[in-house]
Structure formats: structure tokens, C-alpha cells
Amino acid sequence: MRVLVLGDSLSFHGPATAHPADEPRLWPHVAATGLAGTADLHAGLGWTARHAWGAVRTDPRVWASVMHADAFVLGVGGMDSLPSPLPTALRELIGVLRPAGLRARVRAAYQAGHATAASRAARWTAGWPTALPAHETVRCLERCRVAVTTLRPHAPVVLLLPPVHRSSFYGGVHPRRSGHVAALRAWAGERGVVTVDSAPLVVEHVLTGRGNPDGIHWGWDAHRAVGEAVARAVAEAVDVPSGGGPARPMEQSGVPNGTGSASCPQAPVVSSEDAPPRP
């Protein structure tokens, strides 16, 4: 079995540092091993569901993985629920500021004030803004789901729900997590997506300091627990269609664009964001 995983940094960070995508102790590979298969991991630091959708839409390595996927695991969406005093798009513009000295000063000021701003936002605005609003997370995850299952209609889809953290960078607060979880569960129920709740699996591990010292990433025990839970979820769902439009021939080739068939709710919505790049 080939498992396609779209993940954030939790999918490739261990107890001390980041690791290459083929490190066997990472949860995607623990899951694949439990299914007697292999995992194709595509992930990035700080990835939200929007970043995952961007990869599905534009990265030819993801296109290649899609065409061999027997199961699809969405390990993104947790970052989306974290406090983000600056909207994600603005925060990411820090990296393109010029000259270099200005960029360094802005980044240092942002990092120095982030925890305080996140804590104040938790008190004054109930944690708004987050890295991505829940409705936008759902929109991007749905496009990822449609893009993959249009080409691999028999591949079950599994979603990892947002975990917990005790990161000082985020002020130790996470007030919008429950709202994101509720929105993700509702979407998953409508679309036949299987959910794995990572929080009960890692909460003691993370909150007692047995994970990464940064308070957000996991040690190997948590990776093993999450990977085993994902493997069970895939095994239980492997014969159950994940929903979406009518089945397409398995030999069909193409570029995933997240619009699906005419019966898909997003079929009429085609914009420059949706269109795959032209050769």
C-alpha cells in the first residue's frame, strides 16, 4: 500500500530537530509500516491547509505521488488553529523585505512580541486571528480531497485533527482549537473523511515536557502512537469510498485541480488559483 501524506512540521520534526522525510520513526512511516506499505510524505514548516492545497495544485512531485496513492492522509490543519497576531500572508512577507537589515529587525520584533500578542489576543479577541480561519481550512482541505479522489476514487481519506501544545512562542494559549476541530469534524462527516484525534494521543506527552523542548513538536513515543492510530484508521476505511464525484478510471492521468466532476460543489468555481500551471 502507498500512503500519500500531506503534513506540517509535526510530520517531520522529532524530539530535538527536523529530520529527512524518509526517517522511519516519523508518524507517516510508522503508519505505512503498520499497513505493510510505504509513505510518500510532502510537508513543510508552518504549512497550513492552504499550503497543502498549493502543493497539490503546483508541485509535480505531489502529482506523481497522487497517481500511486492507495490512501490519502491529511496531516495539516493543526497550524491553522494557532494564534497568529499577523495574518499568515503578511507574516510570510517578512522573508521578502529588503534590505536585509530591515528584514532582520522586523523578524526579530515579530518573534519578540509574538507570545505577548497571542496572549492578549486570547483575552481580548478570543484568539483571533489564527493562522487560517476554520472555514478557509475546510475549503482548502476539500479541494485537496477532491483533487486526489478524482484521480484515485477508491483511496480512503484520513484527517489528523489539531493537537495540543505548550509552546511559549504562542503564549501557551490555543483558544480557537475547539472551533477548528468542530468545523473539521463537520466537514469530515459530510464528505466521508475518517478523522484521527491526535490530542488524546499526545496530550500527556506534550504537556509534561516529554516532547520537543519547543513545546509543540513530538518525541518518538508520540510519533509512534499517532502513526499506529492512523494505520488503524486507514485499515478500517480502506474498502470504504471517501465520497466526492463519480468514480473515474484508475488509469486516468492528469493534474489534480481540486474541481472534480460536475456533481462536486466546487466544480463551478474555477479561477487562476485553481488552474494548474501550463507547460
What is the predicted pLDDT for the residue at 174? 86
What is the predicted pLDDT for the residue at 269? 31
Q: How far is CA 66 from the centre of its chain?
A: 16
What is the predicted pLDDT for the residue at 114? 84
Q: How far is CA 8 from CA 70, 206, 212, 227, 260, in A?
A: 21, 17, 15, 15, 25
Q: What is the pLDDT along the chain (279 residues), one digit of tens a residue?
A: 999 999 999 999 999 999 999 999 999 999 999 999 999 999 999 999 999 999 999 999 999 999 999 999 999 999 999 998 887 778 889 999 999 999 999 999 988 888 888 888 888 888 888 999 999 999 999 999 999 999 999 999 999 999 999 999 888 888 889 999 999 999 999 999 999 999 999 999 999 999 999 999 999 999 999 999 999 999 999 864 434 333 333 333 455 656 544 333 333 332 333 334 433
What is the predicted pLDDT for the residue at 255? 53
In what order do the strands lie in the sheet containing 38-43? 38-43, 2-7, 71-75, 157-161, 194-197
What is the predicted pLDDT for the residue at 243? 42
What is the predicted pLDDT for the residue at 91? 81
244 dihedral zone (left: phi>0; alpha: psi -120 to 50; beta) = left
Q: How far is CA 84 from CA 61, 225, 236, 242, 253, in A?
A: 30, 28, 36, 32, 39
